[in-house]
Structure 1
Amino acid sequence: MRSLLRYLLKNYAFVLFLLLEGAALALVFNHNSYQKSKYLNSSNRITGNIYQTYNSVVDYFHLNRINKELSEENAWLRSRVENITGVPAINDSLVVTLESADSTYRFISAKIINNSVNKPFNYFTLNKGRNNGIKPDQGVVTGKGIVGVVTHVSDSYAVGLSVLNSRWSISAMHKKSGNYGSLIWRGNDYRTADLTEIPLHVDISPGDSIITSGYSSVFPEGVMIGTIQDFSRPDGENYFNISVQLSTDFKALSYVEVIENQDKPEIKELENIIRDDPMAN
């Protein structure tokens, strides 16, 4: 402690300079939006570069698994294109547009370079950003199922909210019956989530598929979420308690597809009109 005090007294001018310089920079960034945005973009870029370098090293030792995942991604994308458009998919395309009478989806290939699974509120980082067409509120999927939704973007990177986040729920459908409810992760096990609001009269069984309902502009209908693991009928309740085995392995995420619903602005514009209409409330 004495040595530290002697050092501070000896170099007080330099220490004072550092403190004043730090205070000045803080004032500049907090009160000038341009400098603040440049600082945040630089910070995001540096962090993203660190994650990307680390993942490049890790990927070298997992090439077989990554190749398998990429094959699954391509198969899933080809099936989506063929089912919706009737036109065979182009194998080497990184961006695929799927058109139907109701909506147009654009799939942008990306890679997860940071991911968490053991927190109450889990997020992931993508190696693509605004310059690649990534925007907030776009869904993220793999060939096995849903991953999450984009929340923040910089020029070259994006951060997303994982399915493994107890603050988020997903509109999900029991494929066999067409009944829909909400999928919620309770923060316990990264392999399972709970499905609510499925009425007791619905015929359900372990192994039944749970898919996206299409009732939001984030995911198209029919993207795999998981299968029913088990369920119970609570006394005095009108709905099942359903545990869903998630189809996505959140501990082995690598390459993903980001979904852009190109009709979303038009849909949101109409929904906002209804929301603001006093006669509709």
Structure 2
Amino acid sequence: MFWVLLLLLAWAFAGTACLRLCLAAVRAAAVDVDAGRGRDLTLYEAAFLSGGPARVAELTLVSMARQRRLLLAHTGWATVVDQRGRDEMERSVIGAIGPEGQSRIAPVRAAAATAEAVRGLADRLVRAGLAVPDGDGSTIAAGVRRVRIAALAVLALSLTALLLPGPTGMPRELIALWFALPLALTLSCLVIARFEVHPYSRWASPAGQRLLGSLARHMNGFGDERAYLTSVAVRGINAIGEPNLRAAFAHHDRPVQDRPARNRPRTAGHPKTAGADGD
């Protein structure tokens, strides 16, 4: 009868995960519906609510490159052209590049994402009710992840019970039916969440998601540059159209060894340094 213990464990996983998801949905529904009403998101705020600190760093790099105050080479290097940052985010990027004025994009992106300017932005959005506190495990997105894990756990426990050697005192078909119940609970919970509370955002609260939706709907009414940067803020580097600029960010997940200074991209005018528009 060892399979019964596995069944109880499966019910514990499924019940706990589904209950926590339901509680997260109730808390989200109880959030002040007026949070953020009547205000417009800045590009940095939209970037944070869409993709978190890393998206803010990406937006800042792209914005500076578009203004030709920063050169992003397709080889994955960033070169400072204008040392004067126009806001805290830009000064964080310039500081992350360092006094030499050149650095690989990957560490710059990582350092800028953890800078004080981004943390301050996150705190302001949380206080405004537009962002989820960092590390908060009570969000709908976290609840959905738990239910998915619970579904996999139930499936693994059911397979273990069916593969147990020796007589169990009950037909295996009936054992599979018993395990199908907690599995059905988790899957139905995921389906309901998909239709009722999708999209699941790691960063934006329900009020923040509403503002993001409004921003995306009105994106076509912006000027070309504003629409471009808004697209990058909402969709990330996948929205970048210039091949060379996209190639610059493609290096961020790859370990790139430091190269001798003679092989690094030189500053303005070097034919292998990509400008903001991919020249």
TM-score (norm 1): 0.22
More strand by share: 1
More helix by share: 2
Higher RCO, Cα 8 Å, sep 6+? 2
